[in-house]
């Protein structure tokens, strides 16, 4: 029930930011921040690029599957890869389908508008891809390694703020990205458990997998 309340509250917050124009006003103000702050944010924001996370989890899955032959660790790494990959597919489909115009540049009336399906890069603001990736990473850490959850959350929050400071996203884009990343992990966890690939117990702990068919991360 608490998760449902949090989900509803997050959705309301996103809708309120968009409907009231609050995130557009914030984006407008952030255009005038110190250039040094913007340069620092541009460095920090790279931590939200999905490629390193995908490569790391894919390499780990292959290593544990074929080198170490450790079924438990192989499934953990495959779960992480599948969840992060799913979040990337989902966010790009939403970006293309919704077509929200990015902030930045001349602050025109069209900024923040949802144009509908488009491949134009200037209209791929919602949700934030970097926030989606780190939302998924935080959720994966919560399941696999909860002792690292606080550092993961701090990193995600810092990168989320950096997306605003560099002028690529609105606050609602970032919040929606975190939510989408979490949802992607929740869905992946559900699918893994239903297929018997990797039963997951509560509190981020795993049960040892029983006999099952070989797992493919795809």
- Phi first, then psi: what are they for 201, rounded to 5°? -90, 175
Identify the CA nearest to 114 among candidates 134, 94, 132, 133: 94
User: Is 111 domain-assigned?
Assistant: yes
- Token pair 């407008």 is found at 28
CA 93 distance to own-chain centroid:
14
Look at the chain and report how many structural domains it folds into. 1
According to DSSP, the residues that pair with 114 across neighbouring strands are 100
The 10s digit of each residue's pLDDT in 21-72 is: 899 999 989 988 999 999 999 999 999 999 999 999 999 999 999 999 888 8
The 10s digit of each residue's pLDDT in 154-184 is: 999 999 999 999 999 999 999 999 999 999 9
Domain containing 144: what range?
2-195
User: Is 49 domain-assigned?
Assistant: yes
Query: For residues 73 and 164, what is the distance between their CA atoms, to the nearest angstrom?
Result: 36
Q: In the numeric block, which tokens belong to residue 168?
A: 């690529």
The CATH number that applies at residue 106 is 1.20.144
Query: For residues 143 and 153, what is the distance between their CA atoms, to the nearest angstrom?
Result: 13
Query: For residues 74 and 61, what is the distance between their CA atoms, to the nearest angstrom?
Result: 5
User: Is 70 domain-assigned?
Assistant: yes
Query: For residues 194 and 215, what is the distance between their CA atoms, to the nearest angstrom?
Result: 13
The 10s digit of each residue's pLDDT in 67-106 is: 998 888 999 999 999 999 999 999 999 999 999 999 975 4
Query: In 3-state terms, what secondary structure has residue 100?
Result: strand
User: Is 24 domain-assigned?
Assistant: yes
User: Is 20 domain-assigned?
Assistant: yes
Question: Do residues 180 and 94 touch, judged by C-beta distance below 8 A?
Answer: yes
The 10s digit of each residue's pLDDT in 183-218 is: 999 999 999 988 888 754 443 443 333 433 333 222
User: Is 200 domain-assigned?
Assistant: no
User: Is 139 domain-assigned?
Assistant: yes
What spatial distance separates the first Cα and last Cα of the chain, rounded to whole Å?
31
Sign of CA dihedral 153, 90, 190, 172: positive
């Amino acid at each position: 029930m608490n998760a449902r309340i949090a989900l509803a509250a997050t959705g309301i917050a996103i809708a309120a930011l968009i409907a009231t124009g609050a995130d557009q006003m914030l984006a407008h103000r952030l255009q005038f921040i110190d250039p040094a702050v913007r340069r620092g944010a541009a460095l920090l924001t790279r931590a939200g690029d999905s490629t390193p996370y995908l490569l790391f989890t894919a390499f780990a899955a292959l290593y544990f599957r074929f080198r170490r032959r450790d079924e438990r660790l192989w499934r953990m790494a495959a779960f992480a890869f599948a969840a992060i990959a799913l979040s990337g597919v989902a966010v790009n489909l939403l970006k293309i389908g919704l077509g929200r115009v990015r902030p930045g540049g001349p602050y025109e009336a069209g900024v923040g508008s949802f144009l509908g399906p488009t491949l134009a890069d200037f209209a791929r603001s919602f949700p934030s891809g970097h926030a989606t990736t780190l939302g998924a990473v935080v959720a994966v850490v919560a399941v696999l390694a909860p002792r690292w959850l606080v550092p993961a959350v701090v990193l995600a929050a810092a990168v989320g703020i950096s997306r605003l400071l560099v002028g690529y996203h609105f606050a609602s884009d970032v919040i929606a990205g975190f939510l989408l990343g979490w949802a992607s992990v929740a869905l992946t966890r559900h699918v893994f458990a239903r297929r018997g690939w990797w039963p997951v117990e509560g509190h981020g702990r795993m049960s040892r997998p029983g006999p099952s068919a070989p797992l493919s991360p795809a």
